[in-house]
């Protein structure tokens, strides 16, 4: 008899009574920390497990991630992070549970948005990093597991996007690329007595900068903003711009979701490329700081 095949296995996230398909999974290991002890006059070092560390999960999910995960992300971006319990299940080709990893009191540590590129044919996925206080392994029980959400990843491609900045609407029409960016939640760990378990507490939310690439034909409005903002030093709330990144369906007409950008400021403007592929022509890249972000997905 051939060994059991896992080629058609897949992962599911169980959260608040729902099941969402995970496109990729990494992390989630349990590790013992080894420390060296010396007692009395002994010269021999004794190694012992001094603490347990639970590694974060990294989940790649599509647009149809499910309402519970979406609400969790919104809370994190809104600077009101919450802890949640849940599990990751390994399901076989028959949608039966082969194994579980249960997690307790997890915080969202990172939210990574995919690189958007007008020339790409790849499916776009979010990567969510969950940092739990505790993980427990469990054997599969053969339970039937079918995704409540994202049973089949909707075709949201990296090329399906639109970028806007207030006052630069026309100059944003030929934005061809937005680099991947990650929102990070700083977390502090506090040892819980002698149990070896650390409790985790959120502190500050780090909003990333954006790198936006566009046609050189639209460079003048960007250059004017850069000269006024950076060279002349006319900065501050009145000179910053609000904007959006819109995720579009394959037709480019319907909006699947939006990242609202609050108070963007330009701090770098460079000639990036002289074409390279096809007839793209010369391109510029602008780097923007962002004071705040909110996400609004319509097909969770």
pLDDT (tens digit per residue) in 160-205: 999 999 999 999 999 999 999 999 999 998 876 665 567 899 999 9
Least confident range from 44-48, 86-90, 125-129, 133-137: namely 44-48
Whether 42 shows a pLDDT value over 50: the answer reads: yes
Residues 131, 203: Cα–Cα separation, whole Å: 14
pLDDT category at 2 given cuts 50, 70, 90 is very low
pLDDT score at 9: 85
pLDDT at residue number 195? 58
pTM of the shown model: 0.89
**Higher pLDDT pick, 251 / 149:** 251
Give the integer Cα–Cα distance in Å for 263 and 4: 54
Band the pLDDT of 278: cuts 50, 70, 90. low
**pLDDT at 3 (0 to 100):** 41
Q: Is 161 helix (H, G, I), strand (E, B) or coil?
A: strand
pLDDT at site 152: 52
Mean pLDDT rounded to a whole number for the chain = 89
CA distance 55 to 26: 10
- pLDDT of amino acid 155: 72
Q: Do 175 and 212 contact (CB within 8 A), yes or no?
A: yes
For residue 266, pLDDT beyond 90: yes
Cα separation, 28 vs 59, whole angstroms = 10
Least reliable range by pLDDT among 42-51, 67-76, 232-241: 42-51
């Amino acid at each position: 008899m051939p060994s059991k095949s896992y080629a058609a296995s897949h992962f599911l996230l169980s959260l608040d009574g729902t099941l969402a398909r995970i496109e990729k999974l990494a992390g989630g290991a349990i590790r013992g920390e080894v420390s060296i002890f010396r007692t009395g006059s002994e010269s021999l070092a004794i190694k012992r497990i001094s603490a347990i560390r639970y590694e974060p999960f990294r989940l790649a999910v599509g647009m149809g991630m499910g309402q519970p995960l979406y609400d969790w992300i919104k809370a994190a971006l809104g600077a009101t992070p919450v802890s949640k319990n849940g599990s990751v299940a390994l399901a076989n080709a028959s949608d039966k549970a082969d194994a579980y990893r249960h997690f307790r009191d997890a915080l969202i540590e990172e939210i990574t948005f995919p690189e958007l590129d007008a020339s790409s044919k790849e499916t776009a996925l979010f990567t969510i990093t969950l940092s739990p206080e505790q993980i427990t392994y469990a054997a599969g029980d053969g339970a039937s597991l079918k995704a409540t959400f994202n049973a089949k990843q909707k075709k949201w491609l990296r090329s399906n996007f639109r970028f806007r900045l207030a006052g630069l609407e026309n100059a944003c029409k030929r934005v061809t690329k937005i680099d991947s960016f990650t929102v990070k939640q700083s977390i502090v760990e506090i040892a819980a007595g002698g149990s070896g378990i650390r409790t985790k507490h959120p502190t500050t939310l780090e909003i990333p900068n954006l790198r936006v690439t566009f046609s050189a034909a639209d460079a003048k409005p960007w250059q004017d903003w850069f000269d006024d903002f950076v060279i002349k030093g006319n900065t501050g709330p009145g000179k910053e711009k609000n904007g959006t990144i819109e995720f579009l369906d394959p037709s480019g007409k319907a909006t699947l979701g939006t990242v609202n950008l609050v108070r963007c400021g330009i701090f770098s403007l460079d000639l990036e490329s002289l074409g390279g592929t096809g007839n793209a022509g010369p391109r510029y890249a602008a780097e923007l700081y962002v004071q705040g972000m909110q996400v609004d997905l319509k097909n969770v």
